[in-house]
């Protein structure tokens, strides 16, 4: 696992060619001991899909300095838990959640980092806002002092052809550049997973989310 991690970090650095690209270790379904081992090796950020599952692991890892990212869908009844226990939310896709997150972010914590999830090409998925909705959602986040707008996240539909995936990543980069013009503090474009992170980096990703390549194949989702 540590060897796999070093290899991924090396590949990311090579693909980034001098740019700064962060590796998010996606630890859904993985036990806390594996997270601890990677954290002790130097991995800082971990992504979880399910709030309850993450809370269980966080409790046992409170002595590790880990940055926690929620990368799964967020329901409104989970906003207070997420605001209280995560460093980043990568899946904001509707305005309704913005005041809930802001209200529940504890004063003792820094503002919650927020990425807007964009549904860039997957008509079968309801997750993510449409490209047209991005600007309005960004405005709503930027108005909240307890939230910090950091950028965009996407999970393109799994396409067998490289060119189709490349186009989705490219469309995200164009949206991202438009967002940066409106909100100069924005610095994060989260896209690319185990089987396509190098392509995503070539198209402008600043953060890649890698699970199975670090931890091995998952037995359940
Ligand atoms: C599971 C998951 C990943 C990691 O996928 P791998 O193919 O295992 O690297 C990345 N992003 C999201 C949103 C995920 O749910």
Residue-wise pLDDT for 12-28, tens only, equals 999 999 999 999 999 99
The reply to whether ligand 1 has any atom less than 6 angstroms from the CB of 200 is no
- Residue 34 near ligand 1, beta carbon < 6 Å: no
Q: Is the pLDDT reported for residue 221 higher than 70?
A: no
81-103 pLDDT tens trace: 999 999 999 999 999 999 999 99
**Which pairs with CB-CB distance under 8 Å and at least 24 residues apart come from 163-171?**
164/121, 165/196, 165/199, 166/199, 166/203, 167/121, 168/120, 168/121, 169/199, 169/200, 169/203, 169/204, 169/205, 170/203, 171/120, 171/121, 171/131
β-pair type (207-210, 22-26): parallel
Angle at 92 between CA 53 and CA 153, to 5 degrees: 90
Residue 100 near residue 76 (C-beta atoms within 8 A): yes
pTM, to two decimals: 0.97
- Condensed to tens digits (0 to 9), the pLDDT of residues 105-151 reads 999 999 999 999 999 987 788 899 999 999 999 999 999 999 999 99
Q: Whose CA is nearest to atom 6 of ligand 1?
A: 211
- Choose the residue to mutate in 7, 47, 153, 189 for probing ligand 1, maximizing ligand atoms within 8 Å of C-beta: 47
The mean predicted confidence, pLDDT, of the chain is 96
pLDDT higher than threshold 90 for residue 160? no
Measured by CA distance, the residue closest to atom 5 of ligand 1 is: 211
Q: What is the mean pLDDT of residues 176-196?
A: 97
Please say if the pLDDT value at position 220 is more than 70.
no
């Amino acid at each position: 696992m540590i060897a796999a991690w070093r290899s991924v970090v090396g590949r990311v650095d090579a693909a980034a060619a001098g740019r700064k690209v962060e590796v998010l270790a996606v630890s859904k379904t993985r036990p806390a001991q594996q997270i601890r081992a990677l954290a002790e090796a130097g991995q800082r950020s971990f992504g979880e899909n399910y709030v309850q599952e993450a809370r269980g692991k966080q409790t046992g890892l409170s002595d590790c300095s880990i940055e926690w990212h929620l990368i799964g869908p967020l329901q409104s009844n989970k906003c207070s838990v997420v605001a209280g226990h995560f460093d980043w939310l990568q899946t904001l896709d509707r305005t309704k959640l913005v005041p809930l997150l802001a209200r529940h972010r504890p004063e003792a914590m820094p503002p919650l980092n927020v990425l807007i999830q964009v549904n860039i090409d997957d008509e079968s998925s309801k997750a993510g806002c449409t490209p047209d909705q991005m600007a309005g959602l960004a405005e709503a986040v930027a108005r909240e002092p307890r939230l910090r707008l950091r950028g965009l996240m996407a999970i393109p539909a799994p396409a067998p052809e490289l060119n189709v995936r490349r186009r989705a990543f490219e469309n995200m980069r164009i949206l991202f550049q438009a967002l940066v013009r409106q909100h100069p503090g924005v610095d994060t474009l989260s896209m690319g997973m185990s089987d396509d992170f190098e392509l995503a980096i070539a198209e402008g990703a600043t953060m890649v989310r890698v699970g199975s390549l670090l931890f091995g194949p998952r037995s359940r989702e």
